[in-house]
Amino acid sequence: MKHLFNYKLHIRISLFNSKFITSLAIVEYPPKVSTERERISTPSDPFRLFNDYAKSGAYSVKNTRILHALLLDRAVLLSNVAVTNSLLESYSKSGAMVDALQLFDLMPERNVSSWNLLISGYNRNSLHIHSWGVFCRMRSLGFEPNVTTYENILFACSALQDPIFTQLVYSLAIKTRFSFIGPVRSRFIGLFTKTCGLEDGLRAFRDVSSCRNVVCWNTIISGAVRQGENLIALDIFCEMCRKSIVLSDVTFCIVLTACGALGEIHAGKGVQGLLIKCGVEDVAVGTALVVLYVKCGKMDEAVRQLLCMPTRNVVSWSAVIAGFVKMGDSASALKVFQHMRKLGGEINECTLSSVISACGKPDMFEEATQIHLLILKTGFYFDASVGASLISMYSKIGLVDRSEMVFSEREHLRNLGAWSAMVTSLSHNRNSGRTIELFQRMLRESLRPDGFCTSSVLSIIDCLNNGIQIHCYTIKTGLHFNLAVGSSLLRMYSNSDCLDDSYKVFQEVPDRDSFCWTSMLASFTEHGFASQALQLFREMLLDQIIPNDAILGAILAACSALHSQQTGKEIHGYCVRLGLENETEVCNALLNMYSKCGDLESARKVFDMMPQKDEVTCATLASGYAQNGYIDEALLLIRGMVIANLPIDSFTLSSVLHVIARSNRPSVGAQIQARITKTGLGLNVFVGSSLVMMYSKCGSVEDCSKAYDRIEQHNLVGMTSMIISYAKHRKEAEALRLYEIMKKEGIRPDAVTFVGVLSACSRIGLVEEAYYHLHSMTEDYGIEPDCRHYACMVDLFGRIGRLKEAERLINNMPIEPNAAVWRTLLVYCKLHGDNELGKLATDKVHELEPSKARLPNIYADVGQTEEVPKTGFQKKGTGVRKESGWSFVDDNCIELVPAAR
């Protein structure tokens, strides 16, 4: 401002303008020779004065007030509207809207430009509601808005997001015919699609029947894409082409975005042919084409398009790198990045984040280190997104200590991204203690965790109390409305056996996605409420929600749990209707459902029609064959997996071992054991438990013990298998000792465990201990005894000859005894010669299992020979084959644990 004042210039202020005195200053400058420029820039030339002020860029409230006072002193302000408007603009650009309004109110004469300057000033300072107030005042005083007025007030309406304001302004524009002017109309179209909806935007667009303004066409197409109505966007583009509207670069970019969102590669290629015909070679259009091919998964064509571009920008390079990363092709992503660096391409934080993600694999430590060094060299190390990506990368490699190192170097920056990435990394590595500790630190440091961070913490909560506290925090902060957080909350409650709370959370989640529905359906099924899962699925269909393959897999699991083949077939038909019958997850669920329902023929049809089979598919069918007694078919399927070089995982091997145990083929078992030893899967608890079961069936308790000792981490499955194996092979003391160890380690026994424990007590005649364990089932663990447990008790009394006590136990059972219970009693009646009780037991077995062919021999053995002819006649009618022998407790009461619970 030096050129505005002469040496020791004292500004005299009139009484009328004394309110500015506190803002003025007497500015002194050292004497110097005046230049020609200074002589020209005098207050007598106010327009040159404002020009110089604008060029200086020294807009401030203080300088503008000094300028205001100078103009008042020279009496050139209020007499000239243009000069007053310039001063009004200066106040607006200085952010002094109170001064601007005071000046505006003192203006003796105003024009439309004055009103426009005040409205735009409020917009510039984000006081949009004041802009609306000035506009209403302008209209009430009879001033007619011009194009600039409409553009300014529409900007305010856009910021306010108020559809009513927009509609009022549009009504006025129609009345004054400004709605037909291209710039105003395009703003209205864009604003309607943003604040009111696409339908209103289309109505505003169609108000002019023969519009040829390309900006209006681009605006409505862009609005459709923004609202996710990409098909409508393509329809409007086709109409645009039919009417021979001149297409711009922006048009092509928007339409290619719509094609990418729809995955319409053929439509995209058609647009590409059109832009080649039009000779468009803009870098933005080329980038849009690259992004289209990336989104459609056509990476070869994306790279070809990238290399054909005469000019490439960082967006096009980054899009290709991100595309390869998304497809899991880290090698190609790094190769493209290397080529980009060789050509001198610019890199930014988005590029580096994609490259870092490409290196997030356990076998890429060297590449990760090189990228880390490059980031340090290029100065992006402390960028928020780059730091978060580095933390995540090291976590995926398995180097959580490196993640902690990167985090420790930036935790003082209080960057939410880095903290969230560290919490997520710790949760993915199942470090629950450190995860919760860091989450608590975030709260103490007043860093508000986002939905992704909170859901990561909830995913590893192993204490219901902690989960409830985090739930309270999400309610307090409003995060419980976040879809990811809601889904994690319902899974947390479900894993904590709080199904009611899980369902309450599910009901409160707005706009549920497929993961949310799948989680709730699976939770119902896992907790034994498969019928409620089916009811929830029906409610979902009534809400017109189209299920995906994950939801269908979850509901088919519910049908499997209910053994409801009819409902499963209906859902199978629904899968065909949706075109999802060939999806691998759906097919595997269908295989499991038909196998559980005993319909192996339908299961095989599904298997044969699958276009692609994986190891889960083969293992599911093999398990189905085994469980339904088709041992040879199961082994043949496993052999086919080995020939096809399909990887055999722990689940598959566990299923194979179950098949071998049932078929009693030790030679095949030896081959499988060799494969298990080679792959190191013997450490897996499910494979180890199945080995225990197989050796138990073969009668080798020493091998059982060796297989059990090799299991890396024992759980309920492994320990129960070993308890039952000990019980079957006359090592009752070891079985009971292992049960005590199981309780000390805090492993909760289940019903199968108690079958082994009671069987061990039965074999060595421990009556009191058996009663203790029977009562402990209900009192300590809430497990209701079933017929298997009562059969063990009957076996115990039978061994020590207390048959009347055994009969009394059966009569007092809280559940209806099955044939296995009576058969156990019958055997000991034969052994101890109790013919009367034996006849009763025989009648009960015959009543419950009329098709059993061994009953005549039992009648004869207990002295009831007159009954033999009748039962023999019934045997002929049944068409069953007489069995050579049978066992009672060993085969009917003790069912070994399955491969996976």
- Read off the pLDDT of residues 687-697 as tens digits, 9 standing for 90 and up: 777 787 777 77
Per-residue pLDDT at 894 exceeds 50: no
Write the pLDDT tens digit of every residue in 227-272: 888 899 999 999 888 888 888 888 899 999 999 888 888 988 888 8
Shared fold status for 512-612 and 792-892: yes
Per-residue pLDDT at 883 exceeds 50: no
Q: Which single residue is written with the structure tokens 């997996």?
A: 641
* Residues in CB range of 519: below 8 A, 6 or more apart: 487, 490, 491, 494, 506
Mean pLDDT of the region 161-168: 87
CATH number of 792-892: 1.25.40
d(Cα 657, Cα 643) in Å, to the nearest integer? 18
Which pTM does this prediction carry? 0.59
Higher pLDDT pick, 35 / 572: 572
Write the pLDDT tens digit of every residue in 633-667: 877 887 787 777 776 667 767 777 777 776 666 67
Q: Of 441-450, 504-513, 685-694, 740-749, where does mean pLDDT reach its minimum? A: 685-694
Higher pLDDT pick, 739 / 211: 739
Confidence of residue 884 (pLDDT cuts 50, 70, 90): very low
Helices 265-278 & 230-242 angle (0-180, nearest 10): 30
Strand intervals (E) in 71-134: none
Per-residue pLDDT at 146 exceeds 80: yes
Burial class of residue 534 in the structure, from the number of CB atoms within 10 Å of its CB (0-12 exposed, 13-18 middle, 19+ buried) = buried
Looking at residue 648, its amino acid is I
* Residue 879: per-residue pLDDT: 37
* Residue 753: per-residue pLDDT: 92
Write the pLDDT tens digit of every residue in 572-582: 999 998 888 88
Mean pLDDT of the region 685-713: 78
Mean pLDDT of the region 427-450: 83
d(Cα 346, Cα 355) in Å, to the nearest integer? 14
* Residue 39: per-residue pLDDT: 36
Mean pLDDT of the region 598-619: 86
Mean pLDDT of the region 769-792: 91
Tokens of 887: 């066992």
* Residue 281: per-residue pLDDT: 77
Mean pLDDT of the region 470-482: 85
* Residue 775: per-residue pLDDT: 92
- Phi/psi-derived region of residue 511, left when phi > 0, alpha when psi is between -120 and 50, beta in every other case: left
Confidence of residue 792 (pLDDT cuts 50, 70, 90): very high
Instruction: Judge whether 696 and 704 are in contact, CB under 8 Å.
Output: yes
Per-residue pLDDT at 329 exceeds 70: yes
d(Cα 60, Cα 83) in Å, to the nearest integer? 18
Mean pLDDT of the region 495-513: 86
Instruction: Judge whether 219 and 250 are in contact, CB under 8 Å.
Output: no
* Residue 852: per-residue pLDDT: 55
Write the pLDDT tens digit of every residue in 798-807: 999 999 999 9
* Residue 326: per-residue pLDDT: 87
* Residues in CB range of 185: below 8 A, 6 or more apart: 179, 204, 208, 211, 213, 216
Secondary structure letter of residue 833 according to DSSP = T
* Residue 243: per-residue pLDDT: 87
Q: What is the mean pLDDT of the chain?
A: 80
* Residue 679: per-residue pLDDT: 66
- Signed CA dihedral, 406, 407, 412, 413: sign only: positive
Tokens of 714: 């024992």
Confidence of residue 44 (pLDDT cuts 50, 70, 90): low
Mean pLDDT of the region 501-511: 86
Per-residue pLDDT at 793 exceeds 70: yes
Write the pLDDT tens digit of every residue in 509-547: 877 888 888 889 989 998 889 999 999 999 888 888 888
| Residue 460, φ and ψ in degrees, nearest 5 | -120, 15
Tokens of 599: 């319909």
Confidence of residue 456 (pLDDT cuts 50, 70, 90): confident
Confidence of residue 412 (pLDDT cuts 50, 70, 90): confident
Confidence of residue 205 (pLDDT cuts 50, 70, 90): confident
* Residue 697: per-residue pLDDT: 74
Largest CA distance in the chain: 144
* Residue 885: per-residue pLDDT: 29
Confidence of residue 54 (pLDDT cuts 50, 70, 90): low
Mean pLDDT of the region 497-512: 86
Higher pLDDT pick, 150 / 182: 150
Q: Distance between the two ends of the chain, CA-based, in angstroms?
A: 83
Q: Of 46-55, 137-146, 216-225, 849-858, where does mean pLDDT reach its minimum? A: 849-858
Mean pLDDT of the region 459-465: 82
Tokens of 616: 């889960």
d(Cα 113, Cα 468) in Å, to the nearest integer? 60
Domain boundaries, the chain: 1-109, 448-510, 512-612, 792-892
Per-residue pLDDT at 122 exceeds 90: yes
Mean pLDDT of the region 141-159: 90
Mean pLDDT of the region 855-862: 43
Higher pLDDT pick, 70 / 32: 70
Per-residue pLDDT at 459 exceeds 70: yes
Confidence of residue 38 (pLDDT cuts 50, 70, 90): very low
Share of the chain above pLDDT 90, in %: 17
Confidence of residue 788 (pLDDT cuts 50, 70, 90): very high
Q: What is the 3-state secondary structure (H, E, C) of 548-571?
A: CHHHHHHHHHHHHHHCCHHHHHHH
Confidence of residue 867 (pLDDT cuts 50, 70, 90): very low
Tokens of 847: 């009543």
Higher pLDDT pick, 452 / 321: 321
Confidence of residue 118 (pLDDT cuts 50, 70, 90): very high
Instruction: Judge whether 414 and 382 are in contact, CB under 8 Å.
Output: no
Q: Which fold has domain 512-612?
A: 1.25.40
